[in-house]
A and B are shown apart, each in its own frame.
Chain A
Amino acid sequence: MKEQDEALKALLQRAAPGPADRELKHDLWPEMCRRLERPPVRIPWGDWVLAAAFLLCLILFPMTIPAVLYLL
């Protein structure tokens, strides 16, 4: 079993060695700064209203749940 595992390991290492060069080529800080400056995603209030209405429908009419699940 151990020998078979070693053979499989050799096969994997040969087939999927990954990139030879694993060093980061450039500083990622400028990109990080852009990411930090990006405004957070805000969900419009209309979407919250729709979600609340949908939930309310499910609570008031639980028989619709299977139909909703089917459509998903």
Chain B
Amino acid sequence: MTEIVEPELERFTRGDISAFEALFREYQGQVYRWIIQIVHDSGVAEDLTIETFWRIYRARTRFDPRRSFAAWARRIATNLALEHLSRRPPEKLLDNGFPIPAPAAGTPDPAISADICVKVLAALEELPAKLRVAVTLAMIEERPYAEIADALGISTNGVKSRVFRAIRLLRKNLEKRGVRS
């Protein structure tokens, strides 16, 4: 991906709509992919992408063109995704959030049945949004801790701590449902 050059970013901070359009077209896919790995829903990810750029446009005067636009956009997108997960009613996730995968055919140990998947999803859903995002990005999406820390606006140790707490809580939630991990 080509990084947008500084003069373009400067024009954007001054409110130039064509510079904003260039930025939007360059980064919309990247922002969308970042959001969808948190919310796991294409429709929501599209809405949140629009909302992310709307907030970016409103906050344009506060942006320093010497800094990374992608990192700034990712942080705003993460905050919005977190807000969305915090507001969402719990049952929504099982309706259209995560698809429940069928156990892979031919696997020697088909231990992960659809029933276990449902229980794992329910246990994940029970986590507070901040912990859920940390564990989703770190363990499901396998994103580097530094990248997660940057997107959440916390230190790498902060991310490690959230993942650690999330794992502990997840185990407790799974045990409650009779799943040993």
Same assembly: yes
Chain A contacts to B: CB under 8 angstroms:
4-5, 7-9, 11-19, 22-25, 27-29, 31-32, 35-36
Report yes or no: A15 in contact with B40, Cβ–Cβ below 8 A: no
Which partner residue on chain B sits nearest A31 by CB separation? B50
Report yes or no: B139 in contact with A12, Cβ–Cβ below 8 A: yes
> Taking the complex as formed, is B7 at the interface, i.e. its CB lies under 8 A from any CB of chain A?
no
> Taking the complex as formed, is B140 at the interface, i.e. its CB lies under 8 A from any CB of chain A?
yes
> Taking the complex as formed, is B53 at the interface, i.e. its CB lies under 8 A from any CB of chain A?
yes
Report yes or no: A24 in contact with B32, Cβ–Cβ below 8 A: yes
Interface footprint category on B: 35 or more
Chain B contacts to A: CB under 8 angstroms:
17, 21, 24-25, 28-29, 32-33, 36-37, 40-42, 46, 49-50, 53-54, 57, 98-101, 112, 116-117, 120-121, 124, 135-136, 139-141, 167, 170-171, 181
The listed residue with most B CB atoms (<10 A of its CB), out of A5, A23, A25, A28, is A28
What's the minimum C-beta distance from A6 to chain B, rounded to whole angstroms? Answer: 10
A15 to B181, CA, bound (A): 13
Report yes or no: B36 in contact with A12, Cβ–Cβ below 8 A: no
A12, A27, A29, A36: the one contacting B135 at CB < 8 Å is A12
Report yes or no: B121 in contact with A23, Cβ–Cβ below 8 A: no
User: Given that A9-B139, A11-B120 are contacting pairs, would A35 and B167 also be in contact in the complex, using a CB cutoff of 8 Å?
Assistant: no
A7, A16, A23, A35: the one contacting B50 at CB < 8 Å is A35
Task: Enumerate chain B residues within 8 angstroms of A15, measured Cβ to Cβ.
Answer: 98, 100-101, 112, 116-117, 120-121, 124
